[in-house]
A and B are shown apart, each in its own frame.
Chain A
Amino acid sequence: NAGVTQTPKFQVLKTGQSMTLQCAQDMNHNSMYWYRQDPGMGLRLIYYSASEGTTDKGEVPNGYNVSRLNKREFSLRLESAAPSQTSVYFCASSDRAGGSYNEQFFGPGTRLTVL
């Protein structure tokens, strides 16, 4: 039982390059999330998927796209990377979105640098 896994762990891109961050969970959770974490700031929600087949924008969606491939997998795509997207990206999952006991389980993160 691995929980939430993310690949890759580290990535360096040049401005304008594209890439996809992969996330998978084995807890049979309905909801999945992508966050970014920048120094001195709290985690900020990029996109989330409340259930398989649905995706919604979070607080900072510009420059990103997502795909909920199936119940287990939720990918984040940067079409044309910019230095402002240098950050640590976390994927998370929860049994459901919202509610009093919506504990989110986080992956280990992907550290992305855009030159």
Chain B
Amino acid sequence: KNQVEQSPQSLIILEGKNCTLQCNYTVSPFSNLRWYKQDTGRGPVSLTIMTFSENTKSNGRYTATLDADTKQSSLHITASQLSDSASYICVVSSGHRNDMRFGAGTRLTVKP
């Protein structure tokens, strides 16, 4: 069973609308959680990183939240744009040298 589960698998929204993507994890111990954006045919690019003590972090129209007690994170996208169409991947790390666990991603499509 994957230690990082993301939902929904895919999502279609209209341009200008908001959306929230979810990430639940069982990785332990916990060091940090990253959200990556992966455009079609490209490699993932980091959006945000949060450590144990951080609850919220923003990067422009992207806001990530973390609840380390319930082991849940969300990525909220405000006023979506066509360029937000991509896969969003949640990655949880224990801090050890090779221990990063990747979720399968949420495929977001923003339609005009």
A binding-site residues for B, Cβ under 8 Å:
4, 31, 33, 40-45, 48, 50, 56, 58, 90, 92, 97-104, 106-109
Task: Say whether A101 contacts B104, CB under 8 Å.
Answer: no
- Check B41–A42 contact: CB distance below 8 A: no
Q: Which residues of B contact A43 (CB under 8 A)?
A: 44, 89, 102
A38 CB to nearest chain B CB (Å): 9
**Which residues does chain A contribute within 8 Å of B34, judged by CB atoms?**
103
A109 to chain B, nearest CB (A): 6
Complex Cα spacing A24 to B99, Å: 22
- A100 x B51 contact (CB < 8 A): yes
In B89-112, the 8 Å CB interface with A consists of 89, 93, 95-105
Q: Does B2 contact A (CB under 8 A)?
A: yes
**Cβ of B78 under 8 Å from chain A:** no
Kindly state the separation between the CA atoms of A5 and B54 in the bound complex, as whole angstroms: 33
By a CB distance below 8 angstroms, the chain B residues around A31 are 97
Chain B contact residues, CB within 8 Å of chain A? 2, 4, 31-32, 34, 41-46, 49, 51, 89, 93, 95-105
**Once bound together, how far apart are the Cα atoms of A100 and B34, in whole Å?**
10
Instruction: Please name the residue on chain B nearest to A38 by beta carbon.
Output: B104
Chain A residues near B100 (CB, 8 Å)?
45, 102, 104
- Whether the Cβ atoms of B43 and A98 lie closer than 8 Å is no
In the complex, the chain A residue whose C-beta lies closest to that of B105 is A42
Given contacts A101-B32, A103-B34, A108-B43, contact A50 B102 (CB under 8 A): no
Give the most central of B43, B49, B89, B100: most A CB within 10 Å: B43
In whole angstroms, how far apart are the Cα atoms of A107 and B43 in the complex? Answer: 6
| Complex: chain B residue closest to A40, CB-CB | B104
Query: Judging by beta carbons under 8 Å apart, are A100 and B104 in contact?
Result: no
Are A97 and B98 in contact, CB atoms less than 8 angstroms apart?
A: yes
Which residues of A sit under 8 angstroms from B93, Cβ to Cβ?
Answer: 98, 102
Known interface pairs A42-B102, A92-B43, A104-B46; 6 further A-B residue pairs with C-beta atoms within 8 A, sorted by A's residue number: A31-B97, A45-B98, A90-B43, A101-B32, A101-B49, A102-B100
Known: A97-B97, A101-B49. A108 touches B42 (CB 8 A): yes
